[in-house]
Structures are given as C-alpha cells and as structure tokens.
C-alpha cells in the first residue's frame, strides 16, 4: 500500500508517519520509485503499536524507541520483556532516605516470602514499589501497607491470566509483541475495572 | 512551625511551598507578624499529599488543584471520590469510531451483567476502558478481551481490599483523604506487584 493508505489504515496522520520513519521508529517501506515506497500490513501493525504505547500507555516517544529496539533485537522473550518493563516503569519518584530504607526492607521480605526473583534496588519496578510504599507510610496509611501480602496474592492471580494470553503462541516476535500490548493495555484495563468495582463495593459497604 | 520547618518536615522546598500557597493548593498559615506565619501538622500532611499526587500519581498540578478543591468542599465521600476518580482518569485517548462503538457495547454488557452502576459514555473511567479495549481489538489481542470477565472478577476482589482501608474511619475528611491516597498509591502498588508476578509466572509457565 501507499503512504496515504497506510495513514488511513492505521489512523496515524501522514506527517506523523513520516516523522516516525525519520526517527527510525517505523522501518522504511519497499522503494518503488525515487519518491515512492510500498508499505505492508506489518507497517500498519507497527503504527498501531506505537499509537497504543503513546496514547493509551502514555509512554514518551523516547521510551517507545527503546521498547521497539528491544523488540527488533530479537533477544529471548524473557530478556526483551525485562527491557520493556523497565522502560514502562519510568523513573521512580524520590522519597526520603529513611522511608525508602524501610520500604526496601518490606519489599525484600515480600519477595523472599513469595519466592519471587530478587532484583537489585536500581530495578525500576522495585523502585516504584518502594516509593509508593514509603509515601503510604509517610501519609500514615498503615492499613494499605498491612494488606501488601493480600495484594501480592491477587497480583499473582492477575498475572496468571496475563501470561495465558501468550501461551500457545509459537512465534517469538508474536510472544513479545503480545506480552508488550497485554502489559500496557492490561494495566489500563485493570485500573479502570478496579475503579468501577471500588465504586460498587464502597456503595455496598459504606452505603453511600 | 515556621516555613523552614514546614519545608524540612514535608520534604518540599521552600520555593515550592510558597508557590503552592500562592496557587491556593495549600491554605495560608496563621499570621504571627506581617512577614511571618505559623503552620501546623495539617500543612505538613497536605504537602505530603500534593507530593504523592504529583510524584507518585503523576498528576498534573491543575488536576491536583481540582482534587484538593473537591476535598475541601466537604461533600459526601461518594460524591467527592467521584470527582477525584474523574480527575485521576485524565482524558481518554481517541480511537476510531467503529472500534469505540464495539468496545462501548462490550463494556455496557459487562456493567449490566455484573450489576455495576451505569455511567454515561462521557465518564472518563469508562472512556479509558473503551479506548484500551478498542486498541486491543485493533491490535488483534482477542485473548486479552476474552478474559475481561475474569479480570473484572479479580478487580472486585482487589476493590474489596481497597475499601477495607476506609472501613472504620469515622471522620468524613479522613475517609476521603484515605480513599484518595489508597486509589493513587494503590494503582501504582498493584501495577508493580503485577509486573513482578508476571515475571514469576512467565518463568514457570514458559520456562524462560
């Protein structure tokens, strides 16, 4: 297909498609003349993926570039998803040393008790968790912290569903792409469902 | 306490505290002389709350203003949390009309089946869910969509834990503040736990 059709199919404006081509986020099409190129269904899918990462996932374009490079490097799914998760996690917010130390201990205990893989403190998912727990502590939200183990248990149940979406896929590229999409969209979907559910439960429990 | 102490206690720089005072995000202290004011523990808590909303929650300052006004209006917890959730949800991303219509139908079915409160399509939490589901559909992630009901079931379990943190609180202000914090920090904490859990489950299931 030509550029105009690629834009229409993906819902991404021509100027933006050209920008992505220049930035290397989208691989070049097959050149058919000095001024024209032909694009494939893979280009449409890549554009939709970029759109999902930026618009639904809220990822800055620089992070999208890192994520797409990780995919294109054709490493193992496990390694690629590691890079992807780090990028999705962003930069953990700063908290006071004292609160961070306390929260790090809490996380280390949880990871050990559950037999999860241990990560260095610089791991961004751990960093985000530590920052959120430290903030909860500083705000006096002990009850939230006390339920960490129960949240972790439910997170395992959700993760089991998450991983099911890639089970049965045979192409490594497909596993990685699906894992990425499920991760980005899955967080948004679950947060939305949780808010609707909170409304429901709070009406039942608090009666207002 | 004086300004310097307020800054040290909250971990918010003096210039930022002054900015929040000018913007009305922080109520003025009790004036003790033309150039000095005294601040209380409530000021420290309010600053920590603003910090949590911006740094951990990633909320723009304009949204923080809306959320804090809703709290200060002393409406019922239910109404206040409604405003808060709308602001936390942000502006739903745009998707194609066709995909949005399909996803709206899917959401309406889910809400009806579960007996959840119905919302107008302009409701931002619904808007975010519709955008995420429409995007999943466009990217060919049928398996993710097929599990919507199971995700909703687990979201209810998580919401039950969420609401427990406010049960037993007697002050309306405390219920609202706790609900807000639990919502903002809770989303971050659960997303982090889910990513660690995904890593664990994918190693077990996929063996890599």
Q: How confident is the model at residue B57 (pLDDT cuts 50, 70, 90)?
A: confident
Neighbour tally for B205: CB within 10 Å: 14
CA–CA dist A98, A60 (Å, integer): 31
Q: What is the mean pLDDT of residues A35-42?
A: 93
The answer to whether residue B1 is domain-embedded is yes
The answer to whether residue B148 is domain-embedded is no
**Among B104, B126, B202, which would you mutate to test the A interface (most chain A Cβ atoms within 10 Å of its Cβ)?**
B202
**Among A82, A184, A191, which would you mutate to test the B interface (most chain B Cβ atoms within 10 Å of its Cβ)?**
A191
The answer to whether residue B30 is domain-embedded is yes
The reported pLDDT for the residue numbered A205 is 79
The reported pLDDT for the residue numbered A111 is 95
The answer to whether residue A26 is domain-embedded is yes
Q: Measured between beta carbons, which residues in chain A are less than 8 angstroms from residue B128?
A: 188, 191-192
Q: How confident is the model at residue B205 (pLDDT cuts 50, 70, 90)?
A: confident
The answer to whether residue B145 is domain-embedded is no
SS3 state at B74: coil
The reported pLDDT for the residue numbered B20 is 96
Separation in Å, CA B134 to CA A64, A161, B101: 20, 19, 8
The answer to whether residue B165 is domain-embedded is no
**Which ipTM did the prediction report?**
0.89
Query: What's the domain count of chain A?
Result: 1
Contacts of residue B68, Cβ cutoff 8 Å, sequence gap at least 6: B25, B46, B49, B50
- pLDDT tens digit string along B60-113? 899 999 989 888 887 777 788 888 888 888 888 888 899 999 999 999 999 999
The reported pLDDT for the residue numbered B109 is 96
Scanning B30-89 for CB atoms below 8 A from A yields: 45, 48-49, 51-52, 55-56, 76-78, 81-82, 85, 88-89
CA–CA dist B47, B33 (Å, integer): 23
**Among A82-86, B46-50, B129-133, which is the least confidently predicted range?**
A82-86
Helix/strand/coil (H/E/C) assignment for every residue in A55-111: HHCCCCHHHHHHHHHHHHCCCCHHHHHHHHHHHHHCCCCCCCHHHHHHHHHHHHHHH
Identify the residue with better confidence: A57 or B29: B29
Interface membership of A196 toward B (CB under 8 Å): yes
Q: Which residue has the tokens 């691989």?
A: A27
Q: How confident is the model at residue A109 (pLDDT cuts 50, 70, 90)?
A: very high
For B12, the domain range is 1-56
Nearest CA-CA partner of B56 in B165, B177, B169, B192: B192
The answer to whether residue A36 is domain-embedded is yes
How far is CA B75 from its chain centroid? 18
The answer to whether residue A4 is domain-embedded is yes
Give the rounded percent of residues in chain A with a pLDDT score beyond 90. 53
| CB contact (8 A) between residue B193 and residue A151 | yes
| CB contact (8 A) between residue A196 and residue B161 | no
List beta partners, residue B30.
B38
SS3 state at A204: helix
CATH number at residue B37: 1.10.1660.10
Determine the distance in angstroms separating the CA of A129 from the nearest CA of chain B, rounded to an integer.
6
Q: Measured between beta carbons, which residues in chain B are less than 8 angstroms from residue A147?
A: 161, 164-165
């Amino acid at each position: 297909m030509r550029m105009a059709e690629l834009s229409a199919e993906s819902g991404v404006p021509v100027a933006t498609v050209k920008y992505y081509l220049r930035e290397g986020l989208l691989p070049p099409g097959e050149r058919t003349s000095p001024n024209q190129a032909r694009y494939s269904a893979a280009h449409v899918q890549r554009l939709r993926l970029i759109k999902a990462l930026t618009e639904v996932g809220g990822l800055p374009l620089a992070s999208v570039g890192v994520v797409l490079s990780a995919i294109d490097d054709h490493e193992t799914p496990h390694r690629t998803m590691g890079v992807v998760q780090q990028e999705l996690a962003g930069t953990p917010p700063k908290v006071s040393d004292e609160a961070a130390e306390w929260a790090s201990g809490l996380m280390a205990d949880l990871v050990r008790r559950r037999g999860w893989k241990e990560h260095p403190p610089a791991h961004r998912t751990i960093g985000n968790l530590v920052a959120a727990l430290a903030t909860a502590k500083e705000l006096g939200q002990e009850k939230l912290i006390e339920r960490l183990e129960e949240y972790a248990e439910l997170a395992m149940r959700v993760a089991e569903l998450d991983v099911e979406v890639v089970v049965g896929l045979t192409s490594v590229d497909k596993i990685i792409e699906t894992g990425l999409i499920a991760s980005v969209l899955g967080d948004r979907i679950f947060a939305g469902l949780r808010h609707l559910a909170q409304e429901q439960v709070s009406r039942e429990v608090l009666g207002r």
